[in-house]
Structure 1
Amino acid sequence: MKIELESIGTIHTEFTEIEGMPIQPTGAKGVKGEIVIKDKYVDGLKDLEDFSHINILYLLHKVDGYMLEVKPFMDNNTHGVFATRSPKRPNRIGSSVVKIDKIEGNTVYVSNIDVLNETPLLDIKPYVPQLYEDTIDELKIGWFEANHSKAKSQKSDDRFK
């Protein structure tokens, strides 16, 4: 089945190069960005200002191809791509939870964003952790358990070009 997606806007950040940028939102604390929504989708922003955080889905547009096994930034071992947050994915879809600072017209101003400048935005969803609290009894985070603290300081390199 072929699937076609259209971007609903563009994400603007200070990160113009993949190398050296944060690999997760926790490593981008305080980093500001702007999400500019295409005019035909602006009405979809109604009531979004009532939320503090959003989950943004975007196209990892500077990544070519994919790898089914990768050596992620935060570990020295290889893992299946679906057990990582590697950008080298079959459909190149990224996601981040970011803080809404304000919304003006077609622009959502955000903080704690770890996304490359000029990234095509695919979707926005309000972040509501309470929607999951009754479904997650025992959370397991696999290999991240020993490595998740590295996300605050680890920077991107050229391994996924």
Structure 2
Amino acid sequence: MTICFKSIGTILTPFKRKEGMPIQSRGSKGIKGTIKLKREYSDGLLDLEKFSHIYLIYHFHKSKGFDLQVIPFLDDKLHGVFATRAPRRPNSIGISVVKLISIKDNILEIENVDMLDGTLLLDIKPYIAQFDIHNIEKSGWINNLT
């Protein structure tokens, strides 16, 4: 089955190349970016300003192909791609939690960006602590890092 998504906007960041870009949004504290939402989606922003953080779902537009097993940045052992956050994935979809600074018309100012400039945005969802924070029992291979 083929699924086709339309981008709802573009994420603008200071990162023109993968080199030097943070690998997670928690590692990019204070780095600002901008979302240019397509105007036809502006009405969907109603009440979003009431949230301090949002999820961005986006396309890894510079990632070509995929590997089912990868050696992630933080480890030297092979893991299944679904046990990592590696960008070379079967569907090249990324997700980040960023701080929402402001919304003016169809422009969102955000902070803690970890994606490349020009990344195509697929969706925005509010981060809701009551739903999104879980008591974690296991964190996989990350627990073995020293």
Tell me the TM-score normalised to structure 2 length: 0.96
Any stretches of 5+ residues in structure 1 without a counterpart? 150-161
- Residues 137 and 13 (structure 1 numbering): CA distance in 2 closer, same or farther, change over 3 Å? closer
Aligned with 2:5: secondary structure? coil
Structure-2 residue corresponding to 1:124: 124
Q: CA deviation at 1:146?
A: 3.8
Structure 1: how far apart are the matches of 2:126 and 2:142?
Answer: 25
Aligned in 2, Cα 1:17/1:78: closer, same or farther, shift over 3 Å? same
Alpha-carbon distance in 2 for matches of 1:132, 1:86: 21
Runs of 4+ in 1 over 3 A off after TM superposition: none
Aligned ranges for residues 117-156 of structure 1 at < 5 Å?
117-132=117-132, 136-147=134-145
1:46 aligns with 2:46: yes
Aligned to 2:105: 105
How many Å separate the matches in 2 of 1:137 and 1:23?
A: 23
Unaligned runs of 5+ in 2: none
CA RMSD of aligned residues (A): 1.3
After TM superposition, the structure 1 = structure 2 runs for residues 2-151 of structure 1, keeping only pairs within 5 Å, are 2-132=2-132, 136-147=134-145
Shift in Å, 1:28? 0.5
Matches of 2:15 and 2:81 in 1, distance apart?
24
The alpha-carbon distance between structure 1 residues 137 and 22, as it changes in their structure 2 partners (threshold 3 A), is closer
The percentage of aligned residue pairs carrying the same residue is: 52
* Matched position secondary structure for 2:117: coil
- Structure 1 residues 66 and 43, CA, compared in 2 at 3 Å: closer, same or farther? same
The alignment covers a number of residue pairs equal to 146
TM-score of the superposed pair, with normalisation by structure 1: 0.87
